[in-house]
Each structure stands twice: as C-alpha cells, then as structure tokens.
Amino acid sequence: MEKKENTGKVFLIAGSEPLGSAGVQADIKAITRCGGWAAAALTCIVDEDVNRIKGIHHLPTDLIVSQAESFLGTVGADCIKTGILPTEEIIQAVASVLRRFNRQPILIDPVIVNFAGEQLVSDEAIAAYKSELFPLATLITPNVREAEFLLGHAINDPENDLKKLSEWGCSVLVKSVEEGKYLVDYLYNAVSETLTPHPKKKLILDDRNGTGDTLASAIATHLAKGADLATAVERAEAYMSYFLAGPRYYISANL
C-alpha cells in the first residue's frame, strides 16, 4: 500500500477577516492548498468592507485561551502560528498557552505595523511581543515596515539587521525588502547563522492584503509536515510565486 504524505496540523491563533483575503480565512486557504490541516482559535472579529476597517472586536481573553487549550490539549498541533493579537493581555495569555504546549515549531507573525508604517497596536502590546512571544518563536515573520519599526531604522544591512532581530533566539524572515526591480524576502537562520535571500520581481497587484499571512501560513504548513526551516521557506516561496502569478479572487467596490 502506498504510504500517504504526512498532513501536518497547523493551529492558528488569529483574527477573522470577512473579505477572505487575510486573517484566519487566508491562513486556512494557504494551509489547505499546501497539503496541511488547519484549525484555529479566534482572537478578534474584524468588521470591514473593501474601503475601510469599521471596527476590530476583541474576543474575551479566557475564551481565546480555552479555544487553544481545547485543541492543543486533545488533538495537538505540528506547528502553531499566531496572527493578530490585538492587546497586551491577549499576548500574555497566548504566551502562557504556548509555554505549556511548546513541543512543535512556533511561528509568530507580528501584526504591529501596516505596510504604510502605521502602528496598529499599543506600545505595551509591542513590548509584550518582545518579552513574551519572540523568545518562544522558532521563526518570526515581520513585513519590512514591522522589521524597521522593531529595529528603529531602515534596513540597510540585511545580514546584521536580521541578526539583530534574532536577539530573542528566533530565526527571522523579513518580507518584501525593496531592492531595485525586486522585492526580497530575507531569511536569517539563527541556528546555522546564515542569511538566505529570496528575490522576486515586483508585481502590480490590485490588492496585496493578506499576502504576508499567506506566506507565513505556507511556511507553517511545511514546518508542520516535517521540513527543516530552510526547506519550508523555499517551498512556501515557490507557492507564493504560483499564488501571486495565478488567478486570484478579486474583490472590487464596484461589484
């Protein structure tokens, strides 16, 4: 009998986004397409249309914790990925769960700054990311604006800058560093102390909302299926090339 490929279980701790292009909705699509099994604890519900965010409604912290404990304590995960964690209290609570269920890779996708550089969460929440979550992470995946926010300056020396971001003991993938005609995702592997660039040609996209979520979830899936970090990132980058170049659902305000 042919042996089936391992279907890794990825557990998400993130928010629900109704347009389906980001948040848990985008995560589940990417995980499924990459051959994994997705499950999730919701942290918040975003109320938005194609023009604006109308509100972010946090779920109770004890409910977030209970959702995570219900899955991790009975089914278990092969990788855990976090998305939007909107408050300091929620970050601290999630960190306490991760410390108790830390037998698998943990991917922290820090939702702290949008692509325009605007801060999305409080200073206290950012401090909690640094003190509570980053030390638990196998990999953190900030976009370039988030990386520059954490560094306090623009990225001008990727190797040293990413090494600085690994000071919490985690590996680092910084997404979409502009270099001429290319956007480069840089991976710094804290174990091997190596920097690997993943360049890609710039694409003109009508909507890039959720592309970072999709990449991070693809990486989490391959980690869950047993790939090492370098291989997981390489396979996820290949998936993103297919995902961005192929037909996508386009959501227009003119529908």
Q: Is 53 exposed, middle or buried (0-12, 13-18, 19+ CB in 10 A)?
A: exposed
Contact status, residue 134 vs residue 107, Cβ threshold 8 Å: no
Position 208 scores a pLDDT of: 59
> Could you give the domains of the chain?
9-145+210-243 (3.40.1190.20)
What are the tens digits of pLDDT across the range 203-221? Answer: 666 555 668 899 999 999 9
d(CA 197, CA 175): 10
Question: What is the DSSP code (8-state) at residue 6?
Answer: P
Position 118 scores a pLDDT of: 81
pLDDT tens sequence for the chain (255 residues):
455 566 899 999 999 998 888 899 999 999 999 999 999 999 999 898 877 778 889 999 999 999 999 999 999 999 999 999 999 999 999 999 999 998 899 999 999 987 677 888 999 999 999 999 999 999 999 999 999 999 999 999 999 999 999 999 999 999 989 988 889 999 999 999 999 999 988 766 655 566 889 999 999 999 999 999 999 999 999 998 877 766 554 444 444
CB neighbours of residue 193 within 10 Å: 11
Coil, strand, or helix at residue 239? helix
Tokens of 9: 């279980």
C-alpha pair distances (Å), 104 with each of 83, 110, 180: 17, 19, 38
Q: Let me know how long the chain is.
A: 255
Contact status, residue 198 vs residue 183, Cβ threshold 8 Å: no
Mean model confidence pLDDT for the chain: 90
Position 251 scores a pLDDT of: 46
Exposure string of 83-94, with b = 16+ CB inside 10 Å and e = fewer, is bbbbbbebbbbb
Position 227 scores a pLDDT of: 97
CB neighbours of residue 51 within 10 Å: 7
